[in-house]
């Protein structure tokens, strides 16, 4: 059974969080002289950015709740979902003692974040069909395994993980199971967000960087039980989401239909691009994808990668990655960009 107070690092459990001026006073007032802010606006034209933002972003969480259906108390907002990955490790993993488990080939930040935090990494590779090796995952769990990272749809392979496999991991592990749903908008798979009340050890990662088109604004989410979200709030830096990002996201959330339209278009382009790639004689496999990118197995991938670069086209060379020999990961672009890529590949020999 998952017991939150046992999972959290003892120091984090006991520590007193930073208390900002706005934590101590949050009511209406006429004169705010409590936070050492500049009474004038931002240089040069006094733009209204001189006050610190609210540490917990209640207005944005409320809007997310209305549009996406997650309860505000189950939401942590981070400077990208990468911040949530890092904080999760700092909440649950004692440096030089605890470990996490990842399933390569997968998103690189889980391992990087672990290294930075002096947390050991246990790898249980995906099976050749890029699905979870559930018996091996369960067998490899140690007393000091604190977090298991699952990514569905998975980066860089593009496939979604079987729901029944994820369920077995969730039920068979006393620590936190993270399901990174960065690409869920491009998938036919349902989100696990609806299952949050059933699993106190479940954390779901979402991002505004992909389907929402806001990678430059740095906004990501962790969804979890309100009790676990409290620990995110306890350890995060006080003003982690800036006012410009909050204002932009507040407005963007009013246009959910636009997102759906955009996602449908990208999926259409994805299908066309898959067909074009499959028709190339040097392409050995176009893997099924539930994301906005396609993993392609192609003869002499490193040479093809270099050839494309020299034509000014950058794709991701994954040919050195476990289970991805001779693979390139190609993001679905605009129709024009995709056509430039396909034409370049057609004239490669």
Judged by the rule CB under 6 A, the positions of this chain that interact with ligand PLP are 80-82, 107, 151, 155, 180, 182, 207, 209-210, 215, 220
Nearer to ligand PLP, 7 or 208 (CB): 208
* Residue 322 C-beta: closest distance to ligand PLP, Å: 16
Nearer to ligand PLP, 81 or 145 (CB): 81
* Residue 182 C-beta: closest distance to ligand PLP, Å: 4
* Residue 215 C-beta: closest distance to ligand PLP, Å: 6
Nearer to ligand PLP, 124 or 151 (CB): 151
| Distance, C-alpha 65 to centroid of its chain | 19
Nearer to ligand PLP, 119 or 182 (CB): 182
Cα–Cα distance for residue pair 42/242, rounded to 1 Å: 14
Token pair of 25 as six digits: 């006073």
> How far separated are the first and last CA of the chain, in Å rounded?
57
Residue-wise DSSP of 79-98: SSHHHHHHHHHHHH--TTT-
Token pair of 238 as six digits: 């006080």
* Residue 147 C-beta: closest distance to ligand PLP, Å: 14
Of 222, 132, 215, which is closest to residue 168 (Cα–Cα)? 132
Cα–Cα distance for residue pair 120/117, rounded to 1 Å: 9
Per the DSSP assignment, residues forming a β-bridge with 206 are 221
Nearer to ligand PLP, 182 or 277 (CB): 182
What is the torsion angle, in degrees rounded to the nearest 10, for the CA atoms of residue 70, residue 165, residue 111 and residue 232?
A: 30
Strand 316-317 and strand 293-298: pairing?
A: unpaired
Helix, strand or coil, per DSSP, at residue 76: strand
In the complex, residue closest to ligand PLP by CB = 80
Nearer to ligand PLP, 91 or 211 (CB): 211
Of 306, 308, 288, 310, which is closest to residue 297 (Cα–Cα)? 288
Nearer to ligand PLP, 248 or 307 (CB): 248
* Residue 137 C-beta: closest distance to ligand PLP, Å: 18
Token pair of 293 as six digits: 């990118």
* Residue 293 C-beta: closest distance to ligand PLP, Å: 9
* Residue 88 C-beta: closest distance to ligand PLP, Å: 13
């Amino acid at each position: 059974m998952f017991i939150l107070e046992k999972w959290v690092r003892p120091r984090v459990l006991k520590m007193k969080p930073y208390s900002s001026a706005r934590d101590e006073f949050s009511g209406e007032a006429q004169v705010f002289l409590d936070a050492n802010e500049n009474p004038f606006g931002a240089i040069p034209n006094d733009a209204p950015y001189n006050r610190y933002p609210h540490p917990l972003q209640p207005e944005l969480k409320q809007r997310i709740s209305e549009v996406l259906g997650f309860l505000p108390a189950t939401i942590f907002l981070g400077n990208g979902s990468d911040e949530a990955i890092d904080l999760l490790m700092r909440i649950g993993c004692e440096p030089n003692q605890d470990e996490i488990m990842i399933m390569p080939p997968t998103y690189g930040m889980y391992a990087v974040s672990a290294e930075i935090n002096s947390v050991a990494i246990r790898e249980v590779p995906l099976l050749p069909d890029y699905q979870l090796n559930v018996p091996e995952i369960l067998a490899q769990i140690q007393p000091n395994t604190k977090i298991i990272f699952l990514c569905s749809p998975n980066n860089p392979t593009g496939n979604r993980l079987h729901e029944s496999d994820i369920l077995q991991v969730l039920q068979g592990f006393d620590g936190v199971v993270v399901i990174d749903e960065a690409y869920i908008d491009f998938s036919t798979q349902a989100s696990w967000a609806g299952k949050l009340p059933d699993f106190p050890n479940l954390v779901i990662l979402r991002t505004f960087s992909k389907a929402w088109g806001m990678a430059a604004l740095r906004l990501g989410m962790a969804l979890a039980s309100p009790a676990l979200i409290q620990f995110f709030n306890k350890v995060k830096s006080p003003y982690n989401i800036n006012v410009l990002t909050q204002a932009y996201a507040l407005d963007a959330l009013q246009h959910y239909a636009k997102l759906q339209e955009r996602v449908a278009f990208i999926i259409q382009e994805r299908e066309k691009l898959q067909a074009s790639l499959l028709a190339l004689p040097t392409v050995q496999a176009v893997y099924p994808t539930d994301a906005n990118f396609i993993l392609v197995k192609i003869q002499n991938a490193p040479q093809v990668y270099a050839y494309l670069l020299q034509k000014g086209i950058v794709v991701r060379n994954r040919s050195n990655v476990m289970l991805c020999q001779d693979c390139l990961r190609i993001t679905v672009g605009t129709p024009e960009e995709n056509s430039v890529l396909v034409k370049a590949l057609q004239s490669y020999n």
